[in-house]
Structure 1
């Protein structure tokens, strides 16, 4: 890897009648000017359209001076909400309220993201309700065991013990 980095080179294509040091210097200056201009455009684009950052701290969110709103979540499975928020591209910050016994979380987000956050939050609620409705795997196995025992008692002794007579 180190060799690749140290051996990188540039290719200049210059049309000239006679290659002199002056022509070569002008070509390099022109290239550097274009590179500076490209970097300035990229910096301006980044300033106008900041990259999605996902989870942030509250201080980072307040740096832009945009209005913050919050939602209180009482569910301890906050990681499900984080996955959904990342999928929707929401910039958010989570603060846990330590003074309450069941964990309460405050989710801060930008005021302009309210519509997207409502969609993400409704998906989170649906997912949590779906998980609560679904019985656990252990309960299902226990029910299947009980059904099997019930069936085994209904089958007559004769059928349970088939013996081959020779």
Structure 2
């Protein structure tokens, strides 16, 4: 009987400590989420970026660079906002970022431009396929003639 009570007590203690651990873990997760919401990272609106009072700088980029740039900015932890000036033809895109992130932005653009140059040097698979199709079409092939034999029945 004594051993049974001891096992029951240990089981109850384990259940209580596990529930305390779960509540603490949940509390820490909620606090981390709230901290993240109060300090946004990555792409955001210009209003939020300026509202952080860190000083804002901007640069011009081409439209083709917008999507690729976002991935590298996220990698380097750069807070940025992109705007489009529709008054110009073609439209001009501007990237606003915190002045303190200028060194990280330089590194991100260097890495991005290196990847763009690397992609341009790669031969296009579609172009290679078209070239192969043309080469096959130019090959002298066997001409098959279908002869139909008529027999007397």
Which residue of 1 is the match for residue 54 of structure 2?
Answer: 66
Quote the Cα distance in structure 2 between the aligned partners of 1:73 and 1:94: 10
Question: In structure 2, do the counterparts of structure 1 residues 105 and 70 end up closer, same or farther at CA, with 3 Å as the change threshold?
Answer: same
- Which residue among 137, 149, 157 is the counterpart of 2:125? 137
- Separation (CA, whole Å) in 2 of partners of 1:91 and 1:132: 28
Q: CA RMSD in A?
A: 3.1
Alignment of 1:1-166 (within 5 A): 11=16, 46=35, 51-150=39-138, 152-153=139-140
Q: CA-to-partner distance for each residue in 1:107-151, whole Å, 9 max, x for gaps? A: 01111111111111112212222333334332111111223344x
Q: SS of 2:64's equivalent?
A: coil
- Counterpart secondary structure, 2:53: coil
Shift of 1:69: 1.0
User: What is the CA–CA distance in structure 2 between the aligned matches of 1:129 and 1:104, rounded to whole Å?
Assistant: 22
- Contact 1:52–1:89 at 8 Å: present in 2 too? no
Pairs aligned (count): 117
- Is this contact kept in 2: 1:90–1:109, CA < 8 A? yes
Which segment is superposed worse, 72-81 or 131-140?
A: 131-140
Alpha-carbon distance in structure 2 between the residues aligned to 1:101 and 1:140:
34
Give the drift of 1:11: 4.2
SS at match of 1:94: strand
- What is the TM-score normalised by the length of structure 2? 0.61
The answer as to whether partners of 1:76 and 1:103 remain within 8 angstroms in 2 is: no
Task: Report the TM-score, using the length of structure 1 for normalisation.
Answer: 0.57
